[in-house]
Amino acid sequence: MRQIIKTTIGIKPPILFLVTAFLLIAVNSAYSAEYQVKIENHRFVPSTIEMPRGERHRLIVLNTDVTAEEFESYELNREKIISGKSQAVIFLPPLSPGSYPFFGEFHEDTAQGRIIVK
């Protein structure tokens, strides 16, 4: 006799997997572009990123240092700690043209960057 495993909400696991995969694809395709910035020697590389206005973006912050750094921007209303040798994804809404500075709070004197929206 074959037994069917159901989740607590009554959906079969294969269907739940397919629905989850579809939602992840839908969310990822909602962002028009992906940008990457590295943290190297307590600096953001590149320090300036240009993005088009009015589109949603994903910013991947790759920390190549062994120490943690915090990506912070008051103008973008974003704050995220990134452990050493790891990465984080920062989702950005459609932005108006302008300049949006960001910095690394743990090494604020050297970790400086800017997003330019045109």
* Distance from chain centroid for Cα 35: 9
What does 10-40 look like in DSSP terms, one character per residue?
S--HHHHHHHHHHHHHHHHHTSSEEEEEEEE
Q: Give me the mean pLDDT over the 67-90 stretch.
A: 96
pTM score: 0.73
How far apart CA 88 and CA 100 sit, in angstroms, is: 19
pLDDT score for 36: 96
pLDDT score for 109: 95
Q: Mind listing the pLDDT tens digit for each residue in 10-68?
A: 556 676 666 666 666 655 556 678 999 999 999 999 999 999 998 999 999 999 999 99
pLDDT score for 32: 72
